[in-house]
Amino acid sequence: MTFQIFSSAFQLLMNNIKFNEVSVNAKANIYFDGKVVSHSVVLSDGAQKTLGLIYPGSYHFNTELAEKMEIIAGTCNVKLDGSEESNSYGENQSFHVPANSGFTIEVNEGICEYICSFID
């Protein structure tokens, strides 16, 4: 089921990040036994995003499209496929993942909240 939200803003979590005129897929994307949960959002211009939570643990994701991951709360460590080093990210920081690649994301404590933008 998809909900259409028009004329009012869709507010993401507690950070006052808003998306106007979006479609939200009410069915959650659930990974790793519920330790990573997101919802899909399509903006009026067709851009696709997911808004999600990552609970403590280490998780590997493969990408088809390039992605921009924006951390809006919490912290994480990220190792891109093919890289030897891991980088830390926190609130208001972001990282890019190439298409047809992957990354491992690790949350050591608390909950990491993110926005993932898919880039064609």
For residue 85, the domain's CATH number is 2.60.120.10
Q: What is the pLDDT of residue 8?
A: 36
pLDDT at position 15: 53
Residues of the chain with pLDDT under 50: 1-14
Let me know if residue 3 belongs to a domain. no
Question: Each residue of 4-28: pLDDT tens digit?
Answer: 443 333 333 345 677 778 898 899 9
pLDDT of 5: 42
For residue 47, what are the CA distances in angstroms to 71, 86, 87? 18, 29, 27
In a domain, 101, yes or no: yes
Give a yes or no: residue 65 inside a domain: yes
Which domain range does residue 83 map to?
Answer: 29-119
Question: How many structural domains compose the chain?
Answer: 1
Residue 53 falls inside a structural domain: yes
Q: Determine, yes or no, domain membership for 68.
A: yes
